[in-house]
Every structure is written in structure tokens, then in C-alpha cells.
Amino acid sequence: MRSFKGIGLLIITNLLIMFTLIISGNILINFILPQFGIDLRGSVATHEFAWALVFGFGGAFISLFMSKWLAKRGMRMQQVITPSTPKEKLVFDTVKQLAEREGIKMPEVWVYWDDAPNAFATGPTRNNAMIAVSSGLAMSMSDDELKAVLAHEMGHVTNGDMLATTLLQGLMNTFVYFVARMIARPIMERNYFMGFMVYMALQFMLSILAMIPICWFSRRREFRADAYAAGAFGSQTMIHALQKLHALSQQNAVAHEGVHQQEDALATMKIYGGFSGLFATHPPIEARIEALRSQKRP
């Protein structure tokens, strides 16, 4: 039931984003920009590029600004404002301590009910972020390990990873929309249905290619977040946390062997990832541990 709710929410959100971009794009291109001497209604290529920018960056930034709202409604969550358990107090105080150290507004702290040990950070800016921790993570980690994981997520916040990823996503989206549209346009002029099918196929294939640099950046940001956590609580503490996550993920894989599980729509925000190769959003835990060990060496 929860997966159907998440899928429905995702469809409705994407439809709302599409209609918003169509309306705002028409107003921007046809009315606002010409008032400033910027006329993008001329050549076909210029007009298509303008729309590619509107959909590419517009969609990415709307998704960024809705990320907290989507996360809260896609999972069964509870905000921690007044901690009522030792674990909640540990999570709340650690996030507060790191935020004060960085001189930023404290992110919202949330817990969600999931046996899988995970945590994620999201939000449009460093001063408007949230950090969420699963019940499985809180219960399976020692206090020091949990602090390291929280510091990793705070690393994403303080490094501005959400905004940087959005900018890269917007750039890749623009490339996909523009190239697919320009190639398909001559076919559309002769046969709209055939051209539309070519456009959709190109958009699908180019979107897959565009994920390669996005995933590469995602893997780089994981190393930086690990380094931040190591600076906050020590490399060895972060290594222990990663080793614990690795062991728990292996146990979880064995427990669910032979059962197909759908990936969560928010999986890219989680602290560990699965797929290897060009499309992995997270580096192998072994590589992250080795990077932390290298950081300790003189």
C-alpha cells in the first residue's frame, strides 16, 4: 500500500511540475523576457533551447524545493522536536551540535519506521534542510557509530550537495530535452506520431547516458561527506559505522534472498547504495573505508 501511495504521489507531483513549467515557460519566453530585450521566440533552435532550459532547470529546482515535502509524505515519519528517548536525544543533540559548529540553521530532525538501516539529508539550502533517520539505523548502531552517520549526512548539508546535484541535473536535463527535440523535430514535421515516438525514445536513451556524470558526482560527494564525518568524530569511528552498515546490509540481503524488492524513490539520498559501475550513486563501502584509512596516513 505504501508503494502505491508513493507512486501516486510521484505521478501527481510530476504532472503538477509539468503544468507549472508549461504555464511559467510561456509567460517567461513570450512576455517577460521580451520586455528586457531578450527575444527567444525567433529561430527554431533558440526557441527549443529556451524550452529545454525551462524544463531542464525548472523541473530540477522545483523538485529540489519540494524534496522535503515529498520525503515527509512518501514515508511514515515523525519530527523530533522534543526528544523523548535516549536515541532521539542523541540524534537531535548531534545534529544541533554540528549545525552550531557550522553556523547554519539547524536542519529538521525526523525519524521514520523502517527496519533497513538508513539515513538521508535533503532540502533546498544549507539553512532549509532536513535529516531523517530510520528506526533500523537508530536501533542497530552504537552511539558513536550513529553520530558518525549523522555527521555524514550533515556533511551533505554543509557541502551544499543538494544544490550542486540539482545544478548538474538541470544541465543534463537541458541537454537531453534539447538534443532529443532537435533530432525529432524534422520527423515530427512529416509525421507527428512517428516524430513523437522518436523523441520519447531519444529522451529515454539520452537520460540514461546523462545519469553517468550525475552518478559520478554522487559518488564523489559520498567521499566528501565521509571526510566531513571523519573530521567531526574521527576516521576510525566512521570506518566502524561503515563496517556495521556493510554487515547489516549483507544480513538484510540474505534475509530477503529470492524476494524482489522495489527500490525506494528516495534511494539516492540514503547513506548506502547497491548498484556497481557507472550508474552507482554510492561507491562500494570497501572503497570508502580505504579512503578514510588513507586519510589517516601521514
DSSP string, 104-140: SPPPEEEEE--SS--EEEEEEETTEEEEEEEHHHHHH
Nearest 5°: the CA angle 228, 281, 131 is 50
Distance separating alpha carbons of residues 226 and 230, to the nearest angstrom = 6
Tens-place pLDDT, residues 132-156: 999 999 999 999 999 999 999 999 9
pLDDT at residue 266 is higher than 50 = no
In the chain, beta strands by DSSP E: 77-79, 108-112, 119-125, 128-134
CB 175 within 8 A of CB 220: no
In 10-76, beta strands by DSSP E: none
Tens-place pLDDT, residues 206-228: 999 999 999 999 999 999 999 99
Lowest-pLDDT range of 42-51, 162-171, 287-296: 42-51
Active-site residue, from 48, 88, 145, 153: 153
* Backbone region of residue 120 per phi and psi (left: phi > 0; alpha: psi in -120 to 50; beta: other values): beta
The 10 Å CB-count burial string (b at 16+, else e) for 113-130 is ebebbbbbbbbbebeebb
Specify the DSSP element, H or E, that contains 262: none
pLDDT at residue 261 is higher than 60 = no
Distance separating alpha carbons of residues 271 and 131, to the nearest angstrom = 11
Distance separating alpha carbons of residues 78 and 109, to the nearest angstrom = 9
CB 280 within 8 A of CB 293: no
Residues with Cβ within 8 Å of residue 69, at least 6 apart in sequence: none
pLDDT at residue 197 is higher than 60 = yes
Q: Which residue has the cell 515523525?
A: 78
Which one of 2-6, 12-16, 41-45, 50-54 scores highest in mean pLDDT? 50-54
Cα torsion 171, 179, 25, 160 to 10°: value is -10
Distance separating alpha carbons of residues 117 and 139, to the nearest angstrom = 9
* 100 has catalytic annotation: no
